[in-house]
Amino acid sequence: MPIKERIINELKNGPKKYKALKTKFKANKKFFAAMEELYQQGIIDEVNGLIILLKGSKAEKKQRPKDVFEGVVVKLTENYGFVRVEEFDKDVFVAGKFMMGTVVGDKVELKRIPSKRHQYEGEITAIIEEKTNLVATVEKEHGNFYAVLRDCPVLYLPIENRRRTLQRGDIIIVDIYGRGRSHRALTAKIKENMGQVSDSQKSVELLLAEKQMTAEFEPKVEDEVNEVISRIDMATEYKFRKDLTDKIIFTIDSASTKDIDDAISIEKTENGYNLGVHIADVSHFVKPASFVNQAAYNRGTSVYFGDSVIPMLPKALSNGACSLNEGVERLAFTCDMQLDSNGNVTNYLFYKSVIKSRVKGVYSEINDILFEDTVKPEITQKYSLDKPLDQTAHSKVTPQLREKYGEVYDSIMLMMELYAKLNRKRIQRGAMDIESDEAYIVFDENKRAVDIKKRERGESEKMIEEFMLLANGCSANLARKMDIPFVYRVHEEPEAEKMYTFKENLRKFGLKIERKQGESLQAAFSRLLDKTRGTNLQQFVHSGVLRTQSKAKYLELPQGHFGLSLDDYAHFTSPIRRYPDLAIHRILTDVVNGVPKDKIKKKYEKFAKLAAKQSSDTELNAMQTERQATDIYVAEYMQQHIGEEFEGTVTSVMSFGVYVALPNTAEGLVHISLIDMVNPILQEGFRLYCPVTGKRYTIGDTVKVKVLGTDILKGNVDFDFV
């Protein structure tokens, strides 16, 4: 009898402790794989330390009719709402009477109905999963307290568990009851009262509570991790791994990075280069069906905001046993690549290794070294370098810095030589370099945002990124050639409708996508990006290019990466902070261990599909959380500058006002009520125009604004034109 059926039969007799199951079934690879599959299929779960068999888990889902879809409520007004369905390019309009009392965030079943007014219209037929931990503000009317949902301020919900300490204006976390009938039947139950929220730290706490994110792990996860780490026997590991501790291997990261999951080695060969990308062997510590694996799967990714992180793995792993810290032996998964003199990969090999990083390199320090040294004629000639692509570092390289990097100095110069060739290849194939205007927040000792800077990427950041791209591409290439289940990073070509809209918007500014005969669309995009880089139209064009494209996601099938202009791409290089990387490490481990292809297919076919879907969903949630947190910090910083004047650029125009971005990336709204216009006209989404006075505000205009106020909780900044 297969082990899965034996586990199910064992659990039919009642819940069992995980350790008891491991003992009974000898805790071998088949047991871990079977448990992982049972978890992912929703057949078993863990409750109060016991593994249970879920009721109805064997029943197959009923086949939905063709006009019924699954979606998420994304907007709610007094009379209607919108549901986002993955299969549609636009949100589905739902009249209020068909909303079934749902709120933003609820997962629903939706039936599409004919419509004369909307491209997509439907009615909600069932609530699949209710959103919990909703944010609301306390309001008081006629002596009664109400919860007003942040995502739907028209709803005043009676509070079931009113507390004496409640005050008007308090921010509360609530669960909503009464769905399935109408919004009038809804009531709110307070889970947590955050009080009066007026600073970034409390606002971010609220955001994380709403998203149900925490940096803490359950005790059983921490205990399991400590047990796994204690069992590692390096003497045994050396017998089954390649010893690379004598090689010059080192890491390059930000100064504050504690979860270091990639290291580099490089050598000059007769025909070109040997580049080693050595990645923390996280899959050796995180086994299928373990508590820590389930926690990592549920989180999907680490979430970075401000100077904090919600890690995917406990710190004992992320900052400890798995982090490739300087001067200590670490277990690694190596991608060994041979490249010719032009930077083309001619061969690659994946294997398990033991490494010892010689130094913890810091981006800013290496940028300084590269700036000073690569402009010297003797260095440029020795390593066949072009002039540096980005000479932004100007700090003096101290003797202490020279000493720190002495052992790896030649490697750094050789890496720069190879990077220069890889970058030329990147440009030639048309890979796009889109400016993101990412903000870097500076905090004081009280964790208060005191400065905002635009995050810059120097040569060393780009260099490491290019090496990671190579290793990621090799992992996907291997999986595609072997035709095995995998988790690919996929980025599809732009849709025709989005391309048409973008071309029309460009035309208004005298711009166009000039595609030469036989040239890729990516190359034409790249030329447009470079043409507008550093101009007032940079944000409009770069964000426009981004919006034309489908969002990158994870899939179990190889479909290439449009933005990078690569046929093969996956995420192999960050298993400490991304679950898809951990997932493919697990698959590639079987590959390097010689497991037959048919067994790999059988073992990972369902897992790869589930991991890809979960990774895409959690990535989106993490990105939204990080952006919202950044907006909160920006609002707190700008609050200190109320009344001050700044020069900025118009980035967007709407019927309700004009958005202006400052050079430090802070963006605010000048509301239409503050603009001296009579019956303003929105001209095709790129200009706000007054037919009476002739006044106009166009995307790309340089304007002067004054800071009127901020809403830290919502992350909003209000401007007025000077």
Indicate if 13 and 41 belong to the same structural domain.
yes
- Between CA 253 and CA 272 the distance in angstroms is 26
- Between CA 204 and CA 206 the distance in angstroms is 5
**Would you state the pLDDT for residue 394?**
47
Residue 716, helix vs strand vs coil: strand
**Residue 318 confidence (pLDDT) above 50:** yes
Q: Which of 603, 627, 651 is the last residue of a domain?
A: 627
Q: Which of 196, 228, 248 is the last residue of a domain?
A: 196
Reported as a pLDDT band with limits 50, 70 and 90, residue 374 is low
Indicate if 475 and 618 belong to the same structural domain.
yes
Average pLDDT, the chain: 89
- Element housing 481 (H / E): helix 459-482
Q: Among 128, 132, 7, 130, which Cα is nearest to 61's?
A: 128
Contacts of 229 (CB under 8 A, 6+ apart): 285, 316, 317, 320, 321
Indicate if 410 and 392 belong to the same structural domain.
yes
Q: Is residue 201 part of a domain?
A: no
**Residue 492 confidence (pLDDT) above 90:** no
**Residue 251 confidence (pLDDT) above 50:** yes
**Residue 58 confidence (pLDDT) above 50:** no
Indicate if 338 and 382 belong to the same structural domain.
yes
What's the number of CA atoms in the CB half-sphere (13 Å) around residue 265?
Answer: 22
* 18 or 332, higher pLDDT: 332
**Residue 259 confidence (pLDDT) above 50:** yes
Q: Which of 517, 533, 549 is the last residue of a domain?
A: 549
Among residues of the chain, what percentage have pLDDT more than 90? Answer: 61
Q: Is residue 678 part of a domain?
A: yes
φ, ψ (nearest 5 deg) of residue 507: -60, -35
Indicate if 470 and 452 belong to the same structural domain.
yes
Rg (CA), the chain: 28
**Residue 195 confidence (pLDDT) above 70:** yes
Q: Is residue 593 part of a domain?
A: yes
3-state secondary structure 409-423: HHHHHHHHHHHHHHH
Q: Would you report the helix, strand and coil content of the chain in percent, each value rounded to 5?
A: 35, 30, 35
How many CB atoms within 10 Å of residue 191?
A: 14
Indicate if 370 and 410 belong to the same structural domain.
yes
Q: Which residue has the tokens 């680490």?
A: 302
Average of per-residue pLDDT across 179-189: 91
Contacts of 547 (CB under 8 A, 6+ apart): 498, 502
**Would you state the pLDDT for residue 122?**
94
* 368 or 53, higher pLDDT: 368
Indicate which CATH number applies to the domain containing 696.
Answer: 2.40.50.140
Average of per-residue pLDDT across 305-312: 93
Q: Is residue 202 part of a domain?
A: no
Indicate if 370 and 420 belong to the same structural domain.
yes
Asked if 71 and 121 touch (Cβ cutoff 8 Å), the reply is no
**Residue 242 confidence (pLDDT) above 90:** yes
* pLDDT single digits (tens) 592-647: 999 999 999 999 999 999 999 999 999 999 999 999 999 999 999 999 999 999 99
Indicate if 99 and 85 belong to the same structural domain.
yes
Q: Is residue 205 part of a domain?
A: no
Indicate if 518 and 603 belong to the same structural domain.
no
CA dihedral 699, 701, 702, 708 (to 10 degrees): -50
**Would you state the pLDDT for residue 293?**
95
Reported as a pLDDT band with limits 50, 70 and 90, residue 61 is very low
- Between CA 521 and CA 687 the distance in angstroms is 28
The total number of residues written for the chain in this structure: 722
Tokens of 544: 């426009």
Q: Is residue 541 part of a domain?
A: yes
Which spans in 377-431 are helix H?
A: 377-382, 399-404, 409-429
Q: Is residue 657 part of a domain?
A: yes
**Residue 430 confidence (pLDDT) above 90:** no
Tokens of 4: 């899965």
**Would you state the pLDDT for residue 692?**
87
- List C-alpha distances in Å: 681 to 16, 23, 520, 650, 702: 68, 73, 38, 16, 20
Indicate if 252 and 153 belong to the same structural domain.
no
Among residues of the chain, what percentage have pLDDT more than 70? Answer: 94
Q: Of 54-63, 127-136, 261-270, 488-497, where does the model show the most confidence?
A: 261-270
Q: What's the whole-model pTM score?
A: 0.83
* pLDDT single digits (tens) 643-681: 999 999 999 999 899 999 999 999 999 999 999 888 888
Indicate if 608 and 569 belong to the same structural domain.
yes
How many CB atoms within 10 Å of residue 60?
A: 5
Strand bridging mode 134-141 / 171-177: antiparallel
* pLDDT single digits (tens) 9-19: 888 777 787 77
Q: Of 83-87, 113-117, 486-490, where does the model show the most confidence?
A: 486-490
Residue-number span of the structural domain to which 103 is assigned: 68-129
- Between CA 21 and CA 39 the distance in angstroms is 14
Q: Among 712, 264, 678, which Cα is nearest to 449's?
A: 712
**Would you state the pLDDT for residue 392?**
47
Q: Is residue 144 exposed (0-12), middle (13-18) or buried (19+ Cβ within 10 Å)?
A: exposed
Tokens of 322: 């798995």
Tell me the CA end-to-end span of the chain in Å, nearest whole number: 78
Q: Is residue 327 part of a domain?
A: yes
How many structural domains compose the chain? 6
Average of per-residue pLDDT across 380-405: 66
Residue 59's identity, in one-letter code, is A
Tokens of 662: 């400052």
Q: Of 284-293, 377-386, 515-524, where does the model show the most confidence?
A: 284-293
**Would you state the pLDDT for residue 391?**
47
Indicate if 338 and 248 belong to the same structural domain.
yes
